[in-house]
Structure formats: structure tokens, C-alpha cells
Amino acid sequence: MNAPARESEARPIDDLGPAGRFSSAWKRDEPLARHTSMRVGGPADLFCEVASDEELGAWIAWGRERAMPVFLLGGGTNLIVGDRGIRGLVLKLGRRFVRTEWTIEGDDARVVVGAAANFKRVVLDTLERGFTGLEFGEGIPGTIGGGVIMNAGAFGGEIGEVVEAICGVDANGNPSRLPREALHFSYRHLALPAGFVVTALEVHLRRGDREEIQARAAEARRRRGLRQPLGQPNAGSIWKNPPGDFAGRLIEQVGLQGEQVGGAQISPRHANFIVNTGSATAADIRALMDLTRDRVWAARGVWLEPEVRLVGEW
Ligand SMILES: Cc1cc2nc3c(=O)[nH]c(=O)nc-3n(C[C@H](O)[C@H](O)[C@H](O)COP(=O)(O)OP(=O)(O)OC[C@H]3O[C@@H](n4cnc5c(N)ncnc54)[C@H](O)[C@@H]3O)c2cc1C
């Protein structure tokens, strides 16, 4: 007689928690390089695109019961995922979380935006309707959920300025709504309870002059096109700007523009961008970041803080 299988081997596949209760596809060992704009990153142990709040809550609760780390992936445009990937469960919000609902009263619009909605599309929608407040975001890739977590901003605007409330699921998998008073936005940061997943934002916009709004957006587009290496895989600004200065300017001053480690290069177009020239690993990018931080610290006495998030195993 065969020895009894260990519990983990004996467990059938649809005991994989909510996998058996919901029809969404889940995968083992999904390469995360496919899901990040930098095109690097090893596999997620378990990866699932969830289709409803209920399914999201069920996976989170299931992970928590097993002390399994749970990571929420947005558009992957602000992430460097380690070459060994992410242990535990990686969740992505599916199409159900893209929906946007507008309520317009006079010159005020209250918009409920699903967290998986594409930031650029939401901006486009506001431009077409002639509402002001988000035009700074013209050209910011990724999801609106990732945008609020990062308090994404550009050219003097930040998403935090127009957010009235955040809806989501807490670390136990229960639905939750956080009003503006409970939200603490700072430069490229929003302090949220640990493990909170954003499923929708409530945003307040005001009617503006359509031509002026579109002109501001066009100017943002022009400035991006001029300096950013948009044709190569990247993750946006690597470093936060230190108070009163620009990270890109400091990196230029220490002579690192164009510097390369393996397949990672400090962009010759914009020194605060690292591009993947085709064969970069996450380790190359990290080594280039370490080199930059050391050189800027030694030469200028400024300690650069990453804007990108480094996640997973290295
Ligand atoms: C070419 C380029 C230009 C860029 N320009 C700008 C810019 O001008 N200004 C700017 O601020 N940023 C910029 N970025 C960075 C990036 O696009 C933004 O930070 C974006 O808002 C991140 O969204 P995302 O969906 O890709 O998030 P991800 O990169 O997937 O995730 C970022 C973080 O948010 C968390 N997260 C994502 N979604 C959720 C959710 N629903 N609930 C809970 N946690 C979540 C993730 O766990 C992760 O910690 C740029 C990036 C690129 C590639």
C-alpha cells in the first residue's frame, strides 16, 4: 500500500480556496514580467484576476487564514518586481472593476471610478466632458487604483486633490469605505490601513472651460513626449524629487546619464528614468539604482528615495 500523501499533496485543486467557487481563471507561477511596464520580474506563486467584490474578499480572507502574503497588482507601471518573483497570492482586478459612473449637478460632477479603470482613459473622458481636476494626469499609465495608492501627480496636480472617498476591501476581506477625512495624501503616497485593496474612487470634479482644459492636457502631453523615453520599457520616475530639487538634475550632475548595468540604462533622454534596453533583469535595475544613490550621496549629500516600488524576492 502507498504511504498516505502529505496533506498539501492530497489537497485537490479546487480546494485552492475560492478557485472552486468562482469561475475566474487563476494560474500558478505566472511570470510577472508580462504584467509590468519595465518587463522584468519572476513568477507569482498564485495569480488570479478576480471578477467581483465577493471573489476579491474571498481570496483575501483565504490568504489571510493561511498567513499567505497577498499582493494587489494594478497596471504594473510603478513596480520593479524581483527576478525570483512574488511569494503567495497576486491578485489583479478584472473588467468588472473598470466601470465609471458620472452624476452631474450644475457645474459639479461626482464620478465613481472603478479601480481597474485606465488612468489615461479616465482623463480623456473628463477632457471630453469639459470637467477640470484631472488634466495633469494626461499620459500617466496604469490604473486609477494604482494612481490613488501612489497619489500620482504631474505638472503641479495630484489625484489626491479630487478624491472624496475610497471604496475597497479590508485585510479581512470585508467591504469598507474611507471618506476624505480618513485619507492622508502626501507626495506620491497615500497612507491606508495595511492590506486595504481599493476597488473604486469617488471623485469630485468641476466644470471648466473646455478649451483651457484641453490646452493644459496638450501641454502635459507635449512635455512628456519631449523628454520621456516612451518607446522603451520603463517604470516612470525612479526617484522622488528631493525637496527643492530634481532627482534627474542631480543624476545628470554626477555624470550618470546613459550609465548602464547589464540591460538596464539610465535614459539618455531623462536621467530620472531607467529603461530596459531589451535584456535587463530586476537585479540590473537594482544595481543601477544602488550605484545612482551612492554616487549622488557621495557627490551631493542627497539621499534619493525611490518613487518606484521594489517588491518580491531578489
Ligand atoms: C511612462 C511612464 C510615465 C509615468 N508618469 C507618471 C507621472 O507623471 N506621475 C506619476 O505619479 N506617476 C507616473 N508614472 C508611474 C505610474 O504610472 C503611476 O504611479 C501609476 O498611477 C501606477 O498605477 P498602476 O496601476 O500601474 O500601479 P502598480 O504599479 O501596479 O502598483 C503600484 C502600487 O499600488 C498598489 N496598488 C495598485 N492597485 C491597487 C489597488 N487597487 N488597491 C490597493 N493597492 C493597489 C500596488 O500593490 C503597488 O504597491 C509613470 C509610469 C510610466 C511607465
Please tell me the predicted confidence (pLDDT) of residue 23. 73
Kindly tell me if the per-residue pLDDT of 236 is higher than 80: yes
Per-residue pLDDT tens for 135-176?
999 999 999 999 999 999 999 999 999 999 999 999 988 999
Is residue 188 part of the annotated active site? The answer reads: yes
Residue 149: closest CA among 178, 174, 127: 178
Shortest-distance Cα residue to atom 34 of ligand 1: 146
Residue 237 is assigned to a structural domain of this protein: no
Q: Are residues 201 and 87 in the same domain?
A: no
Radius of gyration of the chain (CA): 21
Task: Please give the grid coordinates belonging to residue 26.
Answer: 487563476
Q: How many domains does the chain have?
A: 3
Ligand 1 atom with minimal separation from the 74 CA: 30
DSSP secondary-structure letter at 215? H
Helix, strand, or coil (residue 106): coil
Centre of ligand 1 to C-alpha 142, Å, is 6
Residue 241 is assigned to a structural domain of this protein: no
Helix (H) or strand (E) run with residue 150 in it: none
* Active-site entry in 216, 237, 259, 267: 237
Is residue 307 part of the annotated active site? The answer reads: yes
Residue 82 is assigned to a structural domain of this protein: yes
Q: Are strands 184-186 and 189-191 parallel, antiparallel or unpaired?
A: antiparallel
Kindly tell me if the per-residue pLDDT of 67 is higher than 70: yes
Residue 187: which pLDDT band, with cuts at 50, 70 and 90? very high
Q: Are residues 24 and 124 in the same domain?
A: no
Residue 242 is assigned to a structural domain of this protein: no
Is residue 259 part of the annotated active site? The answer reads: no
Domain closes at, from 96, 120, 152: 96
Please tell me the predicted confidence (pLDDT) of residue 73. 98
For residue 282, the domain's CATH number is 3.90.78.10
Per-residue pLDDT tens for 68-116?
999 999 999 999 999 999 999 999 999 999 999 999 999 999 999 999 9
Q: Are residues 86 and 105 in the same domain?
A: no
Shortest-distance Cα residue to atom 52 of ligand 1: 236
Protein residues with CB under 6 Å of any ligand 1 atom: 37, 71-79, 93, 115, 119, 140-143, 145-147, 149-150, 152-154, 188, 197-198, 228, 230, 234-236, 309
Residue 75: closest CA among 147, 139, 151: 147
Q: What is the mean pLDDT of the chain?
A: 93
For residue 152, the domain's CATH number is 3.30.465.10
For residue 34, the domain's CATH number is 3.30.43.10
Residue 11: which pLDDT band, with cuts at 50, 70 and 90? very low
Kindly tell me if the per-residue pLDDT of 12 is higher than 80: no
Q: Find the domain containing 218 and state its range.
A: 98-227
Q: Are residues 222 and 266 in the same domain?
A: no
Q: Are residues 219 and 149 in the same domain?
A: yes
Centre of ligand 1 to C-alpha 139, Å, is 12
